[in-house]
Amino acid sequence: MMKNIIFVLLLFKSLFCTIILAKNVLLIVADDGGFETQVYGNPVCKTPHLDKLASKSTIFKNAFTSVSSCSPSRSSILTGLPQHQNGMYGLHQDIHHFNSFDEVKSLSKLMKMKNIYSGIIGKKHVGPENVYPFDFAYTEETNSINQVGRNITKIKDLVHEFFSTLNHSQPFFLYVAFHDPHRCGHTNPEYGEFCEKFGNGEEGMGIIPDWKPEHYKPEDVIVPYFIPDTPTARADIAAQYTTLSRLDQGIGLVLKELKEFNHDNDTLVIYTSDNGIPFPSGRTNLYDPGMAEPFLMHLPQQTYSQVSEEMVSLLDIVPTILEWFNVKYPDYKLNGMPVQLSGKSLLQSTSLKKSEAVFASHNLHEVTMYYPIRVVRTNSYKLIHNLNFKMPFPIDQDFFISPTFQDLLNRTVEKKETHWYKNLTDYYYRPEWELFDLEKDSNERYNVVNNAAYHSIRTTLQKMLLDWQISTNDPWICSPSGVLENKGRFKENPTCLPLYNGV
Ligand SMILES: *[C@@H]1O[C@H](CO)[C@@H](O)[C@H](O)[C@H]1NC(C)=O
Ligand SMILES: *[C@@H]1O[C@H](CO)[C@@H](O)[C@H](O)[C@H]1NC(C)=O
Ligand SMILES: *[C@@H]1O[C@H](CO)[C@@H](O)[C@H](O)[C@H]1NC(C)=O
Ligand SMILES: *[C@@H]1O[C@H](CO)[C@@H](O)[C@H](O)[C@H]1NC(C)=O
Ligand SMILES: *[C@@H]1O[C@H](CO)[C@@H](O)[C@H](O)[C@H]1NC(C)=O
Ligand SMILES: [Ca+2]
């Protein structure tokens, strides 16, 4: 281990002395992807290309999104700012209409200012355009999302085109945002629950020439602890695995293009996912099934893999890429408050600077789903603050219609065995504070927040969470028991004033 660390330190040193090596960035993001890969311990779902990438990457075992919802997460990946700070409180598309603040300096904007060629292929799902400009863009804004996000032949062609149009004296930042393995039963049920039939060559499904679909039997899949072990959920997971094979083969094609254009030896490659898998306790939740993410980081010419237990946030991606390109984060204000990145560069992950905690912040998903949550998670504990705890936890359209959730509703209504680790009442109605002792209770079953033995842990974590909310200018800082007054006579001394609402 120590030897590896020293080796990596030396590698970094040599990287930064040889400027040409530390040249480009390829950021690959899955949509609702989880841990269904050998590298993260799933021996059933076949993902050879991700495993190959992992064999020459740092494999982060403790990586977390700062929000488990598509647009908010993508905005925080691209800005380094949590959703409550960059303004993307919920989904961007259609009626939801959320956007980041116009003044936000996103990664693609900073790249543009430094004459780094930026490209996006696949799901953008953030706005406005002036905050997220790309030189080369093929996204759902101008194309079918299934073509640019799931058709891996089309994606391969677009990556090829990106490299063909690249001016070789210019460094690049390429963001390939797959739509796989997102569900599609809600939008395109004709292609199956996870669009697992799209392009599989069967009648009416079209063909994706580069894709060799993998098929799974429901009895063979691995059912994680947070999904009911029922035939319906197993069939749902089997469909998810098939779609993961398309994502995996797509990643293989993207990396092949990188190599063919001779950029595999001068490009930092990062692979992660925007949010947890679309199952109960997953996406839209900040329990670990919603918050934990796969995260691989490959340095140019890295030929070995190593595991990192460090606490890593997707908010660390911006600081990492800025350091890679040697770009300084600008001084500016948002809503009158100075902006600082709360993440850290992972290029130093093997040196001394370690985070002891990561933070998360959720407000909405769909426009109707107001359910603000704030979280601090360390290696050993997680503290969750459910600000809207008097309301039932909301369910999104896409997950609601899924076989797994429908089966769970039916079984509950019919008073049948659910085979689930929770019940719907507990799932909908959550206490204001939840504290989990992850060393004893990694599945987050037992809330110990009122246990006297955890009093000092609770106090410490609450203070850490509050400090993070203050440093990221969280408008929800006084919720739910108070109102923040910060203008007029409170301008110099912002204060939480009590509502006497019994909370
Ligand atoms: C490539 O970029 C360099 C430096 O910005 C510029 O001088 C050159 O004209 C560009 N070439 C093309 C083909 O755009
Ligand atoms: C995928 O893209 C390729 C190349 O553009 C095209 O030939 C093929 O028909 C597409 N497949 C589907 C299912 O749309
Ligand atoms: C990367 O590989 C290509 C082709 O193998 C070679 O021409 C180039 O010099 C290499 N670049 C570096 C920085 O090693
Ligand atoms: C749930 O119950 C409804 C009504 O009986 C039925 O139509 C539907 O197929 C059931 N869904 C699942 C996933 O069991
Ligand atoms: C749900 O589970 C909790 C224990 O976690 C139990 O106290 C409660 O009675 C259950 N509710 C229903 C409706 O089964
Ligand atoms: Ca997503």
Determine the pLDDT at residue 8.
44
Q: In 316-439, where does DSSP find H-type helix?
A: 317-324, 397-400, 403-413, 424-428
Q: Is the pLDDT of residue 74 over 90?
A: yes
Choosing from 17, 45, 70, 184, the catalytic residue is 70
CA distance 458 to 302: 41
Determine the pLDDT at residue 168.
81
C-beta 21 within 6 A of ligand 3 = yes
Mark residue 284 as left, alpha or beta (left: phi above 0; alpha: psi -120 to 50; beta: remaining): left
Residue located nearest, by CA, to atom 1 of ligand 5: 423
CA distance 208 to 307: 34
Side-chain-facing half-sphere of 370: CA atoms under 13 Å: 6
C-beta 151 within 6 A of ligand 2 = yes
| Interval between CA 446 and ligand 5 midpoint (Å) | 13
Determine the pLDDT at residue 292.
98
Rounded to 5°, the CA angle 6-7-13 comes to 90
- In tens, the pLDDT along 245-293 reads 999 999 999 999 999 999 999 999 999 999 999 999 999 999 999 999 9
DSSP secondary structure, 44-89, as one string? SS--HHHHHHHTTSEEESSEE-S-SSHHHHHHHHHHSS-HHHHS--
Determine the pLDDT at residue 301.
87
Q: Is the pLDDT of residue 12 over 60?
A: no
Residue ranges lining ligand 5, Cβ < 6 Å: 423, 425-426
What's the predicted TM-score (pTM) here?
0.94
- Residue bearing tokens 């939801």: 96
Cα dihedral sign, 16-18-19-24? negative
* φ and ψ of 408, to 5 deg: -65, -40
Determine the pLDDT at residue 169.
82
45 is catalytic: no
- In tens, the pLDDT along 348-405 reads 655 445 679 999 999 999 999 999 999 999 999 999 999 999 999 999 999 999 999 9
Q: Is the pLDDT of residue 16 over 50?
A: no
Determine the pLDDT at residue 22.
67
Which ligand has the nearest atom to the CA of 267?
3
Rounded to 5°, the CA angle 38-44-47 comes to 50
* Closest alpha carbon to 237 in 284, 289, 181, 286: 181
Residues 6+ apart with CB under 8 A from 224: 279, 289
C-beta 206 within 6 A of ligand 2 = yes
Q: Are 299 and 21 in contact (CB under 8 A)?
A: no
Determine the pLDDT at residue 349.
54
DSSP conformational letter for 255: H
Mean pLDDT (the chain, rounded): 94
